[in-house]
Amino acid sequence: MKLKNPRLTYDLQALKGYSALVGVDEAGRGALAGPVVAAAVRLTEEFYRDSERIEGCRAIRDSKRISEFQREHLFSLMQIWKEADVIDFSWAQATVGEIEQYNILGATQLAMERALEILDQRALSNMKMPRWDESSLFTPVSKDARVNKPTVRVLLDGRPMKRFRFKHEGLVQGDDKSLAIAMASIVAKVQRDHIMSELDTEFPEYGLARHKGYGTQLHKLSIMESGEASVHRPSFLRKFLLRSKEPSVQMDLLLF
């Protein structure tokens, strides 16, 4: 069968020599409010042997490039595949407090590790993801160590992360290149959108269900009118303040 989906083709090539491929991505990294959410999706070669699944994958791409309706539809399709034990996926979050404590990069890493940990707990022995132990975490891999090749390949969207518990590779613009990462981007985005919609009932004055915590004009105006809430990321609001060119806006924000 001729494969016309470049992300699917990429994954089939990446899977060679491995029992499974795990794609990891996040959502909410640049928002002014709410948690950052990460997801991990595990695929095996078996997944690609069904023509209906291949057809269903045609619409799967970076979650930012498709509509909310499409994301929800594709997420439902992925849930069906998960229930049929064709794929597995998990998701986890890092809270606003953790974003402030560890910065957004550290919190994103924490959410990704949590998502991978959940996925790994359900895995059979041949599907376990390779990890760094503390003694080798910052030590270059020796030539002899490379002989024991991991059975699962882990791909993270973006550059590889330092001090990350799981052995992995970074793939810049991975959600455009890899089907597994694109799937993870959809899971992370859908789950975070659900969280933000729930938070909207607690903080209705900010319109979180509409903009999901991102720095839209509506959100910025609501912050100026209602002030900062516990759902907001203080360090991100400070950056917003510094970027603002209007003195009146700066003064209003300084009074919060």
CATH fold, domain 6-198, is Nucleotidyltransferase; domain 5 (3.30.420)
Question: What pLDDT score does 139 carry?
Answer: 42
Average pLDDT over residues 51-76: 92
One-letter amino acid at 29 equals R
pLDDT digits (tens, 9 = 90+) for 98-114: 999 999 999 999 999 99
Q: What is the pLDDT of residues 162-191, one digit of tens each?
A: 999 999 999 999 999 999 999 999 999 999
Per-residue pLDDT for 65 more than 80? Answer: yes
In this predicted structure, the answer to whether residue 67 has a pLDDT above a threshold of 60 is yes
End-to-end CA distance of the chain: 61
Residue 245 has pLDDT above 60, yes or no: no
Task: State the chain's maximal CA–CA distance in angstroms.
Answer: 63
Q: How confident is the model over 149-169, as a mean pLDDT?
A: 93
Q: How far is CA 72 from the centre of its chain?
A: 16
SS3 84: coil
* Domain coordinates in residue numbering, the chain: 6-198, 205-254
How many Å apart are CA 20 and CA 2, to the nearest integer?
Answer: 22
Q: Output the pLDDT for position 89.
A: 98
Choice between 243 and 129, residue whose per-residue pLDDT is larger: 129
Q: Which residue is it, tokens 């791409």?
A: 61
What percentage of residues in the chain have a pLDDT greater than 70?
86
